[in-house]
Structure 1
């Protein structure tokens, strides 16, 4: 059976927008023609792919399964054609980079500016997510590369070491925390703690340090949103552990206080996860290089207090 590639792209756009009319407007296709393409695709699949209702279109379980199978490959084929069409050293097309929220805080805007200046043919899409989600998206091909919490040996994929940075204990403005007064992991275990849920990289790093110290953390609240995590601490509901690079604006504004952790400190490793070498497009290589350049600049200028590994 031959399936039209453009039809699959149309299917993904409708699934993304949840509306036939919005997808038709976005892709500048007549709505009846787009509707006909989806009927043909459903005939080829042998099952309905969308629930149709007055508010739009929603994927059926079969439609969601199809979306998960094809989203990555369709992106990769589109990117390969963009690479071939551009035939230039800087590449072209859209590159999706996955980043944890704490990294996005310090890197996203600065990286986007660097890409715009040095690789204007590339459209950068920054996708925020915690490690478990980023790994899944990367393996399915829905993003092109991702910054992840290490250690590098934990991953069954191509990874490159980027940096190490210390984590700090973060509390509300009313707390007695001070950068010059280090706290121990044992001290942290006596406090109400706010962390992401179990599957996320930051939680794994902090709990590994607690196990090594022979203590159990008193996790009172869980928040899988970086903004909510900081807000709960600002409201005085607990303390959290984060890299200092993710707190600069709140610290400067006096909304949060922090103390260094030690001895020993809790270190977070950052690595770059990528597809296999033969699957890397020219544009992905360019963006990965620009990520390295921007991170090095931030570390060299003291904006990001970390130890580079390259």
Structure 2
């Protein structure tokens, strides 16, 4: 298997036919067919089902495409990185962040990249907290700020900060005072959960407590807008961070109370794929992200405890 075979295979997969793939690769369809046949012979399995109107990937073809996409992206990044290593920092860098991360540093990150690294092509992906991990594992992003990632040898994770969770809702629902709610009292409230996708751990560190909350939750939603609207309408309360509901807290439409006995927290990590070496550009963006996070915490705009060295 070589890079050309993978490139041709990926083109056939994405275009759905030999003819359309041949046009994108600027080679004859017969040449693509030849390379595909050799690749299938080497792997010992069919990668496509030939149909009158195109090519349908088999299960093996779908699995290979996930590998091929990651490999080809890494090869392209390595080529660009080394070719320009003696010049200005340049090249594509994709970053994944949760809604809270984008709220805290997203605009400043984009502004600083445009100013300080004009030759870097930044792609910023916002997702719900638990959805950032799949984006990284499928190589859709080069790095991601992820809450409570699993212990996985495929990941290289560095702790960034720890956030205390609070209960947010209308004062008439959760109480207007600032006295902490106990965990037992919290479970008696109509909780609305932000669904975390494949990584429910993104809500908090303690999985045992999380399961108790999930069992008592009134609603689970994937929409930030729907949750904000529901909280303001008094339909329930949220276990989250002050940053997540910062605008609404400052406007006074909702109120926040600490949680104790026990306290709830979550830890934010900056994660990379262990098998993918960093580029000059990704190293520069990593350093910038950590610098921006540190600044926001030290200035008191991100209510958290830094874990950075």
1:286 Cα deviation from its structure 2 partner: 1.0
The answer to whether structure 1 residue 154 and structure 2 residue 155 are counterparts is no
Select 1:240's aligned residue among 238, 252, 257: 238
Q: What secondary structure, in the 3-state scheme, does the structure 1 residue paired with 2:260 have?
A: coil
Q: Deviation at 1:19?
A: 11
Select which of 291, 298, 301 maps to 1:300: 298
Question: Equivalent residue for 1:135?
Answer: 133
Deviates more, 1:197-206 or 1:253-262: 197-206
Shift of 1:189: 0.4
Unmatched segments (≥5 aa) in structure 2: 41-45
CA distance in 2, matches of 1:115, 1:121: 9
With normalisation by structure 2, the TM-score equals 0.77
The residue correspondences of 1:189-204 to structure 2 (distance < 5 A) are: 189-195=187-193, 196=195, 199-204=199-204
d(CA) in 2 for partners of 1:206 and 1:172?
26
SS at match of 1:271: strand
Q: Which residue is equivalent to 1:115? A: 113
How many pairs are equivalent? 297
Residues 139-167 of structure 1 deviation map (CA, whole Å, 9 limit, x = unaligned): 4433211211137x834332111011111
1:181 maps to what in 2? 179
> Aligned pair in 2 of structure 1 residues 136, 78: CA closer, same or farther (>3 Å)?
same
- 3-state secondary structure, aligned to 1:269: strand
Between the aligned partners of 1:230 and 1:270, the Cα distance in structure 2 is 22
In 1, Cα distance between equivalents of 2:27 and 2:277: 32
1:215/1:127 Cα in 2 relative to 1: closer, same or farther (>3 Å)? closer
- Which piece of structure 1 moves more, 62-71 or 158-167? 62-71
Deviation at 1:77, TM superposition (A): 0.8
Aligned ranges 1:213-252 → 2 under 5 Å: 218-252=216-250
**Structure 1 residue 284: Cα displacement:** 1.5
1:52-99 C-alpha deviation (Å, 9 max, x unpaired): 98xx99866555333312121111111111112222475322112222
**Over aligned residues, Cα RMSD in angstroms?**
3.8
User: Contact conserved, 2:81 with 2:91, CA < 8 A, in 1?
Assistant: yes
Equivalent residue, structure 1, for 2:280: 282
How far the C-alpha of 1:285 sits from its partner, in A, is: 1.1
- TM-score, scaled relative to structure 1: 0.77
Question: Does the 8 Å CA contact 1:114/1:294 hold for their aligned counterparts?
Answer: no
State the alpha-carbon separation in 1 of the partners of residues 100 and 220 from structure 2: 16
Given that 2:148 and 2:202 are in contact with CA atoms closer than 8 Å, whether structure 1 keeps it comes out as: no
* Contact kept? 1:150, 1:269, Cα under 8 Å: yes
**Structure 1 gaps, min length 5:** none
* CA shift digits 1:161-182 (9 cap, x unpaired): 1011111111147535447232
SS of 2:191's partner is strand
CA contact (8 A) 1:50 1:63 kept: no
Q: Which moved more, 1:81-90 or 1:130-139?
A: 130-139
CA contact (8 A) 2:158 2:269 kept: yes
| Mapped partners of 1:261, 1:52: distance in 2 | 62
* Secondary structure of residue in 1 paired with 2:217: strand
State the partner residue of 1:272.
270
Aligned partners of 2:161 and 2:305 also within 8 Å: yes
Q: Is the 2:3–2:72 Cα contact (8 Å) retained in structure 1?
A: no
- Counterpart contact for 1:93–1:123, Cα < 8 Å: yes
Q: Structure 1 residues 47 and 276, CA, compared in 2 at 3 Å: closer, same or farther?
A: closer
- Does the CA contact (< 8 Å) of 1:189 and 1:216 recur in 2? no
Q: Compare CA radii of gyration and give the structure with the larger one.
A: 2
SS in 1 for 2:168: strand
Following superposition, the deviation at residue 217 of structure 1 comes to: 5.1
